[in-house]
Structure 1
Amino acid sequence: MKDNETAKLIAIVEDDPDVAKIIEQVLGDFGFRTVWCRSAGDLLRRLRTLAPDLCIIDLGLPDMDGIEAMQRVRAQSACGILILTGRAHVSDRVMGLELGADDYMLKPFEPRELVARVRSIVRRRESVETSGHQMAEFGGWRFNLSNNRLLAPNGEEHALSTAESELLKVFVNNPNRILQREKLMGSRDLAPTDRAIDVRISRLRRKLEPDAQSPAFIKTVYGAGYLFLAAVTWSGEAG
């Protein structure tokens, strides 16, 4: 159990009080601080003064579609995002991942699995923030691992989600090497039918590649994995 100074803050965006109470209780039992927001508007107002480490967002919110809420959170915060939804449609889950969510869970959920996924996202976020090398440069791009910012050669700045940053971190630390999908997913168990990594690759390509159909950096090696084709240099400045 962590003290309140170091415990991670989780924002729960859920309009069902009973579900919210279960989430608050189980996360509290495992040392997390929580704040409950009944609506997307409530969360967006609180983000002006709160800096949660992770937001758990229900897709079925009363005042705003959860996908839109997630996009607005992502636009103003680098926090982790976990989608919690009763929607079983694959398209909803894929759209959530494409738009910047780090993971998703379906209702009804197993409380311990929820905790495990929250911990996984928070750990990934911390690993990006505490990397010894803070700035990676490749092909005119600059990637700041301390704040998830990606600076294009033309000076345009992109904010990456935690999942995108984790993926790019693996690539810049392993340039010119074929990486299996399992390696790119980190510690998460990967089923043969799990296409989450491919969705994340697609998201990252759209930001990095002028022509995503003919990528210059992230190459697909069919039957083997992916290759990050770039010369990477490092510096310790925060940028």
Structure 2
Amino acid sequence: MTDAPLIAILDDEPEIRRLLSQALEQAGFRTQSFSRATEFEAALRRITPEACLIDLGLPDRDGLALVHRLATESGAAIIIISGRAQVQDRVTGLELGADDYIIKPFEPAEVVARIRARLRRPAQSPRSGATTLRFAGWTADFDRYSLTAPDGSETPLSHAEAEVLRMFTDNPRRLITRAQMLETLGGAAGDSFDRAMDVRISRLRTKLREDPKNPRLIKTIYGAGYIFLAEIQ
């Protein structure tokens, strides 16, 4: 079990934490549970979870702000579990960097399935069998969730940004449609998915220092999708 993926659970309801821990451990995962954001954030200094289950209604911190920080600083998959069922809540959560959004009440088996779907995507590129790829002077390290610029400066990638970049580097100079994105990255079709993808691609362009008016690497083909124009090394 020591090699089993670690899942961090942050929810202020003891019964929710118990249900999730039980279901995940029965499925072969390790879990660590927290009732407050402060103890969760302190624990992140010594643990490296593969995925984080985050409730938005926390007693000591705004859950969405925490999701945004994790998406910026952590390589873990982020799944929101919340009683907030409004479409705008889901859209906001995805735009801030969450990989998935599950509404309470939920079936524990569904949570397990969604985590498995996220974690089964390999970190290495099927094109080269490598976890590190180079393009246009940049280096993407999918094990460390980092992006190194031509000048040597390093920028962290969120789990969601790394998935999008890996999709592009696996399919250089090919049109990638919204339907292909949905199939590759998973999620629910609709406006929330489209907006989340737009935000993630915008963040990725910013990290790649693209000119928003004339990007060189990630080109938008209006009405069709995107093309990644770099040669992969």
TM above 0.5, one fold?
yes
* Bigger mean CA offset, 10-19 vs 152-161: 152-161
Q: Which amino acid aligns with 2:186?
A: R
Match status 1:10 vs 2:7: yes
Q: Which amino acid aligns with 1:226?
A: Y
List alignment gaps of at least 5 residues for structure 2.
Answer: none
1:70 alignment partner in structure 2 = 67
1:128 alignment partner in structure 2 = 123
Change (3 A) 1:228 1:76: closer
Which residue of the other structure, out of 111, 114, 119, is the alignment partner of 2:116? 119
- How big is each residue's C-alpha offset from its partner over 1:5-39, in whole Å with a ceiling of 9 and x where there is no partner? 22211110000111111211221221111111001
After TM superposition, the structure 1 = structure 2 runs for residues 76-115 of structure 1, keeping only pairs within 5 Å, are 76-115=73-112
What is the Cα-based RMSD across aligned positions, in Å? 2.2
CA distance in 2, matches of 1:75, 1:226: 23
Q: Which amino acid aligns with 1:8?
A: P
* Contact 1:86 1:108 survives alignment (8 Å): yes
* Contact 2:163 2:185 survives alignment (8 Å): no
Change (3 A) 1:159 1:222: same
Change (3 A) 1:99 1:174: same
Name the % identity.
46
Aligned length: 228
User: Per-residue deviation at 1:189?
Assistant: 5.7
- How big is each residue's C-alpha offset from its partner over 1:114-146, in whole Å with a ceiling of 9 and x where there is no partner? 11111122223xx11586223222222211122
Taking structure 2 as the reference length, what is the TM-score of the superposition?
A: 0.87
Taking structure 1 as the reference length, what is the TM-score of the superposition?
A: 0.85
Match status 1:137 vs 2:130: no
Change (3 A) 1:133 1:227: same
Match status 1:46 vs 2:31: no
Q: Which amino acid aligns with 1:115?
A: V
CA distance in 1, matches of 2:71, 2:217: 25
Which residue of the other structure, out of 30, 55, 58, is the alignment partner of 1:58? 55
User: Per-residue deviation at 1:76?
Assistant: 4.7
1:191 alignment partner in structure 2 = 189
List alignment gaps of at least 5 residues for structure 1.
Answer: 234-239
After TM superposition, the structure 1 = structure 2 runs for residues 17-28 of structure 1, keeping only pairs within 5 Å, are 17-28=14-25
